[in-house]
Structure 1
Amino acid sequence: MQENKKFIIPHRGKITKQDRRRLKGHKSFILWFTGLSGSGKSTIAHAVEEKLFEMGVHTYVLDGDNIRTGLNKDLGFSAEDREENIRRIGEVAKLFVDAGIVVLSAFISPYRKDRQFVRNLVEKDEFVEIYVKCPLEVCELRDVKGLYKKARQGIIKNFTGIDDPYEEPENPEIVLETDRETIEECVEKIINYLAQNNYLEV
């Protein structure tokens, strides 16, 4: 199988990423939401998408649970499978960036090296790490999906924050404290960051 890789020759079309961006009227990049289960990643990602959509920005949300029902349904939650989960998502997100689309990725993505891997896939100004920070006890109180309860009972194994670690981002572009800030405040903080750093211009 590895031997056949030498016969793979990528085809380059005439339409470039810059061409697609000009057509859409804005830059393309990844907004990477990371944080514990129940911290608010998906809720905020979709709220930001709605705001960007209103502004005429072409977007798409990649959500952890949704991806695991299709593309990554063959993966479990071991450290190796988590790494492969993020690797695949990173490659998909890179394709969206090349297509001229703003992709909002909402994944626990607990390991720093995996998040750094995705950052390294794209150009310097195409990855915005957003740490959706929320204390474990608050996430457990929310427990919308009942996952923490199952993890505490031993029904779910390798659950981040319980019996598997979460490595906090060391230098995220944006930090949202969802135990203190409303969804509206979080959305405003992200939009302001994008505007102030010229992400919403061609």
Structure 2
Amino acid sequence: MRQTNWQAALAAHPRPIEALVVGASAGGVSALLTIFAALPAHFRLPIAVVLHLPDNRQSALAEVMGRRLGLTAKEADNHEHLQAGILYFAAPGYHLSVEADHSFSFSREEPVYFSRPSIDYLFESAADAYGANLAGVLLTGANEDGASGLLAIKQQGGFTVVQDPKDAHVPTMPLAALALHQPDVVAGLADIRALLVELEATHAC
């Protein structure tokens, strides 16, 4: 059977994937539900997500996702170690980083592109922690947060995915990423969903 472009890119990645990081902004809730919809409850990778949220309110995002998806979903806790099969969401008002020991850390440093949590904070720190064993996905959004973070993942040898701007609710964020580097995969949400299922089946440790 002929491989699609994303299948060929995934097959060519030389290292097993140990963690997945995902960033989204405007239009992101729907995009996240779409790409995670087919993931099984026994998914073997930890997933950390930054979705831009207002700084001053509680988020029900993890609760909503947990009800709609087969995965266990929760808001990340400070100093918590990432565990396989858990879908973690950044808390409002704090940057979320991954430390060298694969635990989360919170910070209240200045917003990035008016956002705290920032996608760049998560992506850049996770790239340092996991190197080539990290996959990063950048989805729809209305600013440039995440572009430099995805580049950092690529520079560390990780696997990078950008939503096709033509498929995005708001294309600004994917276009900013594409202006900085050529990711391993540029695809619509349906293909990204299929890619994540295949990633778990063939690449997870």
Q: TM-score, normalised by structure 1?
A: 0.44
Structure 1 or 2: larger helix share?
Answer: 1
Structure 1 or 2: larger strand share?
Answer: 2
Q: Of the two structures, which has the highest relative contact order with CA contacts closer than 8 Å and spacing of 6 or more? A: 1
